[in-house]
């Protein structure tokens, strides 16, 4: 059987000292500044776009004339150019949801540095828990070894490392390895059955077979209390600080502590989602979910001065709960994992799935009372869990198969490159 190449990413935590963190922070801010310089050079040249050759020559000239641009390795600077050009290509592609590239703010953008060539990394396993890599202008650093990387260990998967990207979040710097493995092509048909999944807040995932996938709180009671106190402290200091002034060092440290706790909760949520979606993609051939507009669902209920909203605090709490469940990320993980196993994900229309009885088809909003569904049709009278009833309706509905980026069967437009100089 002929093997196919599969591109994936593997995230590992870096073990850095204070000096190495400072070097990487400087490189990341330089990469952000280079993006902004490229954007200005690319879009503000007397009404015409710059070519790739022009941008490359401008980067080389700037690296010789501006001292601080030399903090960023040359390969990483070229990676910024490629990423910027790809952002324009995505924006100009009608079938891609990307927005127009714009300037990156210092406080709003995520710090990241590319290491495009794998040979520069010189990856080696040190012991059972740690590996070591070379980072340009940083030196030899250790990273947390949590799984075998392709092409590096005898028991690991066949393939290779094609590059890496260094990313910083609230918990510190991480390395994202770009891996390419050789795997058997997915089977023509998954041997499993069809299942409908209802995503909720009280119950994370309710399946049409009557089972549920639930999780506990992402933070322990002690961590929740610590987060509550930090948020009260930050609110008190923000109220005491004069408007339009920069936060003090203590206030900044409080914000960093809050961000670390929230990042820890997100990591636990992503871990649970990965494990759960892997189980579902392995067990079922067709997975049906509602086609939800999550952005509209979590919209604010404040309203306007003339028409103020109602139950604003309750709606804000519901919005936080929906965002904490990350329904969109669950579907994204299911899409590519199902495709790898020969299955597929189908999106069905959302209206009516929670108000209609799956047994008789009678639809009444009064049939649902929180987590209990009791059909109001005297001839039926079915009573059960409301989320299970919705999941069965989702399973029985007809929808559209989707891939990782949209509907299958709809031809995607050929990507258009940014216009060149006439």
Tally of CA atoms within 13 A in the half-sphere of 110 that contains its CB: 13
Contact assessment for residue 400 and residue 346, using Cβ atoms and an 8 Å cutoff: yes
Closest CA to 194 of 79, 108, 283, 264: 283
| Cα separation values, 128 from 139, 155, 159, 203, Å | 22, 13, 21, 38
pTM of structure: 0.83
- In the DSSP assignment, the letter for residue 16 is -
The ranges assigned to domains in the chain are 4-16+114-183, 20-109, 193-216+261-349+397-402
The DSSP bridge partners found for residue 196 are 288
Phi, psi of 374 (to 5 degrees): -125, 110
**Which residue is it, tokens 């069905």?**
348
> Mind listing the pLDDT tens digit of every residue in the chain (422 residues)?
577 788 889 999 999 999 999 999 999 999 999 999 988 888 876 556 778 888 888 888 888 888 899 899 999 999 999 999 999 999 999 888 889 999 999 888 899 999 998 888 999 999 999 999 999 999 999 999 988 888 877 666 778 899 999 999 999 999 999 998 887 777 777 888 999 999 989 899 999 999 999 999 999 999 999 999 999 999 999 999 998 899 999 999 999 999 999 999 999 999 999 999 999 999 999 999 998 888 888 888 777 777 787 778 888 888 888 888 899 999 999 999 998 888 999 998 888 888 888 888 888 888 888 889 898 888 888 899 999 999 999 998 877 666 544 444 333 333 334 444 33
> Are the C-beta atoms of residues 301 and 317 closer than 8 Å to each other?
no
């Amino acid at each position: 059987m002929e093997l196919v190449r599969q591109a994936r990413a593997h995230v590992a935590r870096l073990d850095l000292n204070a000096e190495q963190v400072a070097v990487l922070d400087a490189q990341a801010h330089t990469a952000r500044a280079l993006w902004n310089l490229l954007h200005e050079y690319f879009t503000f040249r007397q009404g015409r776009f710059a070519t790739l050759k022009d941008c490359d020559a401008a980067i080389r000239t700037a690296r010789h004339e501006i001292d601080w641009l030399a903090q960023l390795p040359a390969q990483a600077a070229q990676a910024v150019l490629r990423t910027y050009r790809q952002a324009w290509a995505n924006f100009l592609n009608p079938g891609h949801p990307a927005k127009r590239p714009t300037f990156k703010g210092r406080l709003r953008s995520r710090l990241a540095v590319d290491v495009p060539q794998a040979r520069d990394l010189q990856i080696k396993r040190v012991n059972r828990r740690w590996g070591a890599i070379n980072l340009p202008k940083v030196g030899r650093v250790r990273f947390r070894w949590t799984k075998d990387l392709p092409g590096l260990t005898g028991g690991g998967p066949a393939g290779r490392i094609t590059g890496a990207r260094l990313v910083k979040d609230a918990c510190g710097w991480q390395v994202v390895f770009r891996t390419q493995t050789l795997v058997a092509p997915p089977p023509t048909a998954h041997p499993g059955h069809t299942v409908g999944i209802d995503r909720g807040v009280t119950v994370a995932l309710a399946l049409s077979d009557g089972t549920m996938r639930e999780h506990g709180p992402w933070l322990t009671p002690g961590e929740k209390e610590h987060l509550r106190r930090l948020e009260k402290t930050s609110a008190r200091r923000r109220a005491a600080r004069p408007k339009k002034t920069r936060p003090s060092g203590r206030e900044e440290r409080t914000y960093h502590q809050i961000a670390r706790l929230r990042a820890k909760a997100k990591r636990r949520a992503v871990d649970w989602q990965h494990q759960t979606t892997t189980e579902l993609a392995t067990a079922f051939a067709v997975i049906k979910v509602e086609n939800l507009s999550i952005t509209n669902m979590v919209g604010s209920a404040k309203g306007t001065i003339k028409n103020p909203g109602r139950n604003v605090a309750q709606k804000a709490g519901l919005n936080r709960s929906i965002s904490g469940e990350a329904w969109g990320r669950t579907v994204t993980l299911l899409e590519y994992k199902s495709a790898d196993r020969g299955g597929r994900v189908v999106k069905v229309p959302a209206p009516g799935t929670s108000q209609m009885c799956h047994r008789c088809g009678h639809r009444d909003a009064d049939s649902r009372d929180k987590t209990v569904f009791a059909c109001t049709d005297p001839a039926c009278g079915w009573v059960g869990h409301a989320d299970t009833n919705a999941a069965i309706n989702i399973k029985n509905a007809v929808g559209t198969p989707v891939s990782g980026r949209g509907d299958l069967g709809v031809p995607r437009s050929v990507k258009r490159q940014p216009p060149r100089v006439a």
